[in-house]
């Protein structure tokens, strides 16, 4: 039988000329925020071989664990005296045990340093751009398989636009203050307020100075409320803590609610 697909005796094409598969493009991922969740997100991307960049609008790593005297809207931080309320073993990254010499319950300065040390040892810090604020995130395509970010360079005072395959938002949930609504308090701007005393959110609190010999009511039973009550208890005439039973149950026994 005659082979009609090629001339008899014709040399076959060299293997090097055979069609080669196109190399797969590395997926590009933008991470917003360089706190504990942001740095672990960068680490996970690096382990998967992804092309990752992390944008952090402040000049430091560590997120809310970095205390600052300056009150900046949209930026949360711990109080000067804050000590983490879970042990270092319980709070640790699974692949980066804290130094055995550290106290079991770490002050916020030690916690911030631990988070930064973790980012350095896993290589995440090298992917962080400090003083870069993400101003806008929007889909680039109708099916949202690409994303466009508008980023501000805060030191340079300019902006640029980049496209990414995915975006990981790691900015936490403490940046925007939550104001309770009840009669006489008004809104966060004071509109409709009947109470004549000073009203402030925990996010705006930094130091106990100015609360000497005052009667203070702390509304809430969360971590911030506890830190506030302890700090102010040393200078104020009286400190009271109030919260509804529903709030208390949702904070401490949420899974047991019907």
195 and 107 within one domain: no
pLDDT band (50, 70, 90) for residue 203: confident
Residue 252, pLDDT above cutoff 50: no
Counting every residue written for the chain, the total comes to 258
Q: Are residues 224 and 99 in the same domain?
A: no
- Check whether 250 has a pLDDT greater than 80: no
- Number of domain units in the chain: 2
Residue 14 domain-assigned? no
- Shared domain for 156 and 34, answered yes or no, is yes
Task: Give the model confidence (pLDDT) of 27-42 as tens digits.
Answer: 999 999 999 999 999 9
Could you tell me the residue range of the domain that residue 216 belongs to?
179-253
Residue 12 maps to a domain: no
Q: 242: pLDDT confidence band, cut at 50, 70 and 90? A: confident
* Among candidate residues 143, 169, 195, the one where a domain is terminated: 169
- When computed from its CA atoms, the radius of gyration of the chain, rounded to whole angstroms, is 27
Instruction: Please write the tens of the pLDDT for every residue from 59-84.
Output: 999 999 999 988 887 788 898 889 99
On whether both 141 and 160 belong to a single domain, the answer is yes
Measure the CA–CA gap between 223 and 252, rounded to whole angstroms: 11
Average pLDDT of the segment spanning 90-102: 94
| 127 and 37 fall within a common domain | yes
Nearest to 32 by CA among 132, 105, 182: 132
Spatial distance between the Cα atoms of 38 and 56, rounded to a whole number of angstroms:
9
Statement to judge: residues 125 and 243 lie in one domain = no
Task: Please check whether residues 156 and 32 belong to one and the same domain.
Answer: yes
The CATH number assigned to the domain holding 134 equals 3.50.50.60
Q: Which of 101, 135, 169 is at the close of a domain?
A: 169
Q: How confident is the model at residue 188 (pLDDT cuts 50, 70, 90)?
A: low
Do residue 139 and residue 241 come from a single domain?
no
* Top-ranked range on mean pLDDT: pick from 119-133, 198-212, 236-250: 119-133
**158 pLDDT exceeds 80?**
yes
Residue 236, pLDDT score = 92
pLDDT for the residue 190: 65
Three-class SS of residue 128?
Answer: strand
* The predicted structure's pLDDT at residue 20: 66
Q: Are residues 161 and 196 in the same domain?
A: no
The DSSP result for 234-255, as a single string, is TTSSEEEEE--HHHHHHHHSGG
Last residue of a domain, one of 146, 169, 192: 169
- Provide the pLDDT for residue 165: 97
Residues 6+ apart with CB under 8 A from 147: 30, 137, 138, 139, 140, 163, 164, 165, 166, 167
Residues 233 and 157 placed together within one structural domain of the fold? no
> Residues 129, 207: one domain?
no
Indicate whether 192 pLDDT > 80.
Answer: no
Asked whether residue 105 falls in the same domain as residue 206, the answer is no
Residue 15 belongs to some domain of the structure: no
10 within some domain: no
Residue 80: inside a domain: yes
């Amino acid at each position: 039988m005659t082979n009609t697909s090629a001339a008899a005796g014709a040399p076959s094409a060299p293997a090097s000329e055979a069609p080669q598969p196109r190399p797969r493009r590395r997926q590009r991922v933008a991470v917003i925020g360089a706190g504990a969740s942001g740095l672990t997100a960068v680490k996970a991307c690096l382990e998967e071989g992804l092309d990752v960049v992390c944008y952090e609008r402040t000049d430091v790593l560590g997120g809310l664990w970095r205390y600052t005297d300056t009150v900046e809207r949209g930026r949360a931080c711990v109080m000067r005296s804050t000590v983490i309320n879970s042990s270092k073993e319980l709070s640790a990254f699974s692949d980066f045990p804290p130094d055995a010499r550290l106290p079991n319950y770490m002050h916020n300065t030690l916690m911030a340093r631990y988070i930064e040390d973790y980012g350095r040892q896993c290589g995440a810090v090298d992917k962080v751009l400090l003083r870069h604020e993400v101003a806008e995130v929007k889909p680039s395509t109708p099916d949202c398989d690409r994303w466009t970010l508008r980023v501000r360079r805060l030191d340079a005072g300019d902006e640029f636009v980049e496209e990414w395959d995915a975006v990981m938002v790691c900015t936490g949930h403490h940046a925007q203050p939550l104001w309770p609504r009840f009669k006489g308090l008004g809104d966060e701007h004071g509109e409709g307020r009947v109470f004549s005393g000073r009203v402030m959110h925990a996010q705006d609190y930094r130091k106990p100075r100015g609360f000497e010999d005052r009667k203070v009511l702390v509304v809430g039973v969360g971590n911030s409320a506890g830190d506030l009550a302890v700090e102010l208890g040393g200078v104020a005439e009286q400190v009271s803590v109030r919260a509804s039973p529903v709030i208390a149950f949702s904070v401490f026994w949420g899974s047991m609610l019907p």
